[in-house]
Amino acid sequence: MGLAGLLALLAIGFLLLWFLPARWAMPWLASRLPGVRLQAVSGLLWDGRAGQVLSSRGENLGQVSWQLSRRALLGDTLFSVNLSGPRVDFSGQMAGRNGADALWTDVHLHADLNLLPANITLPMGRPRGTVELTASRIQLHGGWPLELEAQVQWQRATLLTPRHGEVSLGTLQLAVQGSNGVIGGHLQDDGQGPLHIDGELQLSPLARRLTAQASTRGANAPLQRWLTSLGSTDAGGITHINYSGGLAAAIPEGRR
Query: What value, to the nearest 5°, has the Cα angle with vertex 124 and ends 120 and 125?
Result: 45
What number of other Cβ atoms are within 10 A of residue 227's Cβ?
23
Q: What's residue 12's pLDDT? A: 54
What is d(CA 20, CA 150) in angstroms, rounded to the nearest whole number?
Answer: 36
* CB 48 within 8 Å of CB 63: no
- What lies within 8 Å, CB to CB, of 68 at 6+ separation is 45, 46, 47, 77, 78, 79
Q: Where are the beta strands (DSSP E) in the chain?
A: 36-43, 47-55, 60-68, 77-84, 88-98, 101-112, 126-141, 144-161, 165-179, 182-189, 195-203, 207-216, 231-233, 239-246
Q: If we measure between CA atoms, which residue out of 204, 170, 173 comes closest to residue 186?
A: 173
Is the pLDDT at 5 greater than 60? The verdict is: no
Which DSSP symbol is given to 99? Answer: T
Summarize pLDDT for 105-137 with one digit per residue, the tens: 999 999 999 888 777 777 778 999 999 999 999
Assess if residue 166 is contained within a domain. Answer: yes
Assess if residue 33 is contained within a domain. Answer: no
Assess if residue 87 is contained within a domain. Answer: no
Number of structural domains found in the chain: 1
Assess if residue 164 is contained within a domain. Answer: yes
Q: If we measure between CA atoms, which residue out of 194, 157, 189 comes closest to residue 173?
A: 189
Assess if residue 60 is contained within a domain. Answer: no
- What lies within 8 Å, CB to CB, of 28 at 6+ separation is none
Assess if residue 133 is contained within a domain. Answer: yes
Is the pLDDT at 251 greater than 50? The verdict is: no
Assess if residue 92 is contained within a domain. Answer: no
Which domain does 231 fall in, by range?
121-255
Summarize pLDDT for 162-187 with one digit per residue, the tens: 888 899 999 999 999 999 999 999 99
Assess if residue 198 is contained within a domain. Answer: yes
Q: What's residue 226's pLDDT? A: 92
Summarize pLDDT for 57-82 with one digit per residue, the tens: 888 899 999 998 887 777 777 889 99
